[in-house]
Amino acid sequence: MLAVAFSPDGRTLATASADRTARRWDVATGRELDSLTGHGGWVTGVAYSPDGRTLATSSDDLTARLWDVTPQHELVTLTDRDTVTGLGFSRDARFLATAGGDGTLRLWDVAAHRVSTTLGGHPAKVSAVTFSPDGRTVAAADNDATVRLWDVATHRELAALQRHAGPVRSVAFSPDGRILATSGDDRTVRLWDVGTRDQVAVLTGHTDRVGGATFSPDGRILATASDDRTVRLWDVAGRRQVAILSGHTDKVSVVAFGPDGRTLATAGEDATVRLWDVATHREVATLTGHTGWVWAVAFSPDGRTLATAADDGTVRVWDVAARRQLAVIGGHSDTAPRLALSPDGRVLAATGTGTTVRLWDMNVLSWRRQLCDLAGRNLTRVEWEEFLRGRPYQKTCPDRA
């Protein structure tokens, strides 16, 4: 399984696979709704339009396709010149952006089913692409140390941001769209004024590659993760470092703010997940149990639950307030896992580089029923402790001896 995406209402999950298909699944029942066929190569990406009516798929057959998912049929095949490495809809769903391995960025008019424009100028593979919150600007980063800003309406290049000294790994707009944060192999994080296209700050301090950057929900704090084993917090307005979060013993690969912005989750190669109080900069918990590199973390929308995935082949679910593990979900790919939560926080999807995606009900009572169905008997107390550590023992099949 190469990519997953929830529909905006959280009822349907789309998956992309190396079997040349995209499939849609009913989240409530886990039933396959349909298989979208037509691509001639691996399907590498899926993305829903904000209104949920159109699904975009990308493939290494050099095409992107748009599908009308009510009813389910292909709207159009969008043919590119090279492998489509990324795609994303504008917030109003008028445009689809596709990033290419040949250094091009294409904007497609979704209603007209045609290329609105081809935005060239990237001399290397486009590694990341994102729309601004208002949908008026596209930011695209490439492996040649350049970030380009494009005007969606006029198709004009607004700026080529070229201050990085190596490949750019991430681009992120602040929630109000006024600031763009970029980070990369040159160990720096750079802040840009989207309106003036000027670099307004170079945030230095990391001593190795900076692989990720994310804004707090209110846009006041930027968190960055680095191979130097630290996470750093930056005051966006003051353009200054406010804290170094040390504790990880190996590369930090991912950071995520809780929905209220008070808690930060970090994870990486040391197999731990750490929770931090954003206000005091104190580590409040170290969540242990994974035995491999933790690649993904995701908060539920209410912030009460955290899901983590690692290359040990497991997904673990944690009670954030109690700082304890609720469940272990096994049977997943052991390489670069990814997680996605439905918008209502009720269903967790997990996948890696294999060909399966698993859906899990976030209700522990449902897990009891699933374990009963799988085992065909009550779990022993030892088994219960392994899968539902810290919770009082209960029979998984209460109607059986």
Contact (CB, 8 A) for 16 and 46:
yes
Higher pLDDT, 388 or 395: 395
Question: What CATH number corresponds to the domain at position 208?
Answer: 2.130.10.10
Burial class, 265, CB count within 10 angstroms (exposed 0-12 / middle 13-18 / buried 19+) = buried
Read out DSSP for 119-171? E---SS-EEEEEE-TTSSEEEEEETTS-EEEEETTT--EEEEE---SS-EEEE
- Rounded distance between C-alpha atoms, residue 268 and residue 38, angstroms: 38
Higher pLDDT, 339 or 395: 395
pLDDT in tens, 313-359: 666 778 899 998 877 655 444 554 445 454 455 545 444 443 344 44
Per-residue confidence (pLDDT) for residue 399, from 0 to 100: 64
- Do 255 and 360 lie in one domain? The reply is yes
- Rounded distance between C-alpha atoms, residue 96 and residue 87, angstroms: 7
- Do 399 and 293 lie in one domain? The reply is no
Q: Residue 297 — very low, low, confident or very high, per pLDDT cuts 50/70/90?
A: confident
- Do 251 and 381 lie in one domain? The reply is no
- Do 93 and 231 lie in one domain? The reply is yes
The pTM assigned to this predicted structure is 0.62
Residue 56 has pLDDT above 70, yes or no: yes
Per-residue confidence (pLDDT) for residue 223, from 0 to 100: 96
- Do 155 and 167 lie in one domain? The reply is yes
pLDDT in tens, 81-115: 556 655 666 777 677 777 766 677 777 776 776 77
Strands (E), 258-399: 263-268, 273-277, 282-287, 294-299, 305-310, 315-319, 324-329, 338-341, 347-351, 358-361
Residue 365 has pLDDT above 70, yes or no: no
Per-residue confidence (pLDDT) for residue 7, from 0 to 100: 79
- Do 364 and 379 lie in one domain? The reply is no
- Do 395 and 288 lie in one domain? The reply is no
- Give the Å distances, CA to CA, from 170 to 84, 137, 141, 147, 164: 18, 16, 7, 10, 12
Q: Residue 74 — very low, low, confident or very high, per pLDDT cuts 50/70/90?
A: very low
Residue 250 has pLDDT above 80, yes or no: yes
Task: Give the number of domains in the chain.
Answer: 2
Per-residue confidence (pLDDT) for residue 72, from 0 to 100: 47
- Do 296 and 389 lie in one domain? The reply is no
Per-residue confidence (pLDDT) for residue 316, from 0 to 100: 75
Question: Residue 196 — φ and ψ, nearest 5°?
Answer: -95, -10
- Do 298 and 375 lie in one domain? The reply is no
Per-residue confidence (pLDDT) for residue 130, from 0 to 100: 80
- Do 363 and 238 lie in one domain? The reply is yes
Contact (CB, 8 A) for 351 and 338:
yes
Q: Cβ–Cβ contacts within 10 Å for residue 370, how many?
A: 14
How large a percentage of the chain has pLDDT more than 90? 28
Per-residue confidence (pLDDT) for residue 83, from 0 to 100: 60
- Rounded distance between C-alpha atoms, residue 150 and residue 119, angstroms: 8
Higher pLDDT, 114 or 236: 236
What range does the domain containing 361 cover?
A: 3-369
Q: Residue 80 — very low, low, confident or very high, per pLDDT cuts 50/70/90?
A: low
Residue 265 has pLDDT above 90, yes or no: yes
- Do 268 and 383 lie in one domain? The reply is no
- Rounded distance between C-alpha atoms, residue 364 and residue 346, angstroms: 11
Per-residue confidence (pLDDT) for residue 30, from 0 to 100: 61
Higher pLDDT, 45 or 216: 216
- Do 365 and 383 lie in one domain? The reply is no
pLDDT in tens, 162-220: 889 998 888 889 999 999 999 999 999 999 999 898 999 999 999 999 988 899 999 99
Per-residue confidence (pLDDT) for residue 331, from 0 to 100: 45
